Structure 1
Amino acid sequence: MMDATLETLVEKVRACQKACNMCFDACLKEDHMMAECIRSDRECADMCGIVLDFSQRESKLFPDLVAVCARACGMCADECEKHDHDHCQECAKACRACEEACNAYVAAHN
């Protein structure tokens, strides 16, 4: 059974992964160049997927992966916040929430 911080983390990571994938797909349809946004969406979504996979294991690497996920979320949020598209703004919010949950998890498990 998961502890409360892990449950919150998994919930925020899953929401962030979904938002990043939606933003990635929407950015591909935009008329102007969104290459950096697309890149950060993919990296963040992939990192969220790794964290979700490892959340079900008792791996000693998990806290390190969560810390990297926090960094990926922060970078993605920084990029998405530069764009006025609704999908970018929603992605940025999900990334900030995930970044906060990751940092809280790391702080609680060090």
Structure 2
Amino acid sequence: MTVAEMQHCISECLACMEACNICYRACLQEEDALAMKKCIQLDRDCADICALAVQYMSSQSPFAVQICQLCADICEACAGECAKHSHDHCQRCAQVCRKCAEACRKMAA
């Protein structure tokens, strides 16, 4: 993995963390926030693992590959859940999560 490839993955993780945090906050404001429970939980999980992946890649941890693989899995789960909802913030989050998952899978390969 080149430095440029790692920087790309870090950038995708940061963008994903931001999109998940925006989605999380917006879901809490929805009329039926209880119906958004799974989306909210996955947004939190995804934002947290993205932050951890950035830390591990930035410090060149020998465990960065495993964290990136887990990050990709959680991003895919979050994307799948967000895609079920018609809200703009959910659709945007799903799109960003898919891009992050792809970058993390490349990092983990």
TM interval, shorter chain, is over 0.9
Is residue 7 of structure 1 aligned with residue 2 of structure 2? no
Q: Which residue among 92, 95, 100 is the counterpart of 1:93?
A: 95
Q: So what's the TM-score if we normalise by structure 1? A: 0.93
Q: What amino acid is the match of 1:50? A: L
The 2-side partners of 1:9 and 1:56 are apart by: 10
Percent identity reads 42
Q: CA deviation at 1:58?
A: 2.4
Q: So what's the TM-score if we normalise by structure 2? A: 0.94
Q: Which residue among 23, 35, 38 is the counterpart of 1:36?
A: 38
Q: Once superposed, what is the RMSD of the aligned Cα atoms? A: 0.9
Q: Name segments (4+ residues, structure 1) moved above 6 Å.
A: none
Give the aligned length: 106
Q: Deviations over 1:8-50 (max 9, x none)?
A: 1011000000000000000000011200000000000000010
User: What does 1:44-83 correspond to in 2, within 5 Å?
Assistant: 44-83=46-85
Specify every segment of 5 or more residues in structure 2 that has no aligned partner in the other structure, as ranges. Answer: none
The 1-side partners of 2:57 and 2:106 are apart by: 15
Specify every segment of 5 or more residues in structure 1 that has no aligned partner in the other structure, as ranges. Answer: none
